[in-house]
Structure 1
């Protein structure tokens, strides 16, 4: 259960950092953080499904 949550948090941090590095305003940082968070949260969800299925 930790994989999607950590993917979400890491993705949000990466997205906000990239927006800030490109000179983005706070709303840009929120948008990029949300997009990266959703994307890496989905990757974490698939990793969780793969791990749970392979252990049975």
Structure 2
């Protein structure tokens, strides 16, 4: 669940960042995907840490 939430938050953050910088629709999509993947990886590590501790 953490991974999915992190990926969605990352995609929204990336899309808003690109839109704020005045990017074209392709730029917005690329930022959304890149941020989504990056946040998903961070969420994966968070999931592993939470699972190991609990």
TM range (shorter): over 0.9
TM-score, normalization by structure 2: 0.97
The alignment covers a number of residue pairs equal to 54
Which whole-Å CA distance do the structure 2 matches of 1:38 and 1:4 have between them? 10
Matched residue of 2:16: which SS?
Answer: helix
Structure 2 unaligned runs (5+)?
none
RMSD over aligned CA atoms reads 0.5
Structure 1 unaligned runs (5+)?
none
Which whole-Å CA distance do the structure 2 matches of 1:5 and 1:26 have between them? 23
Return structure 1 stretches of 4+ with deviation > 2 angstroms: none
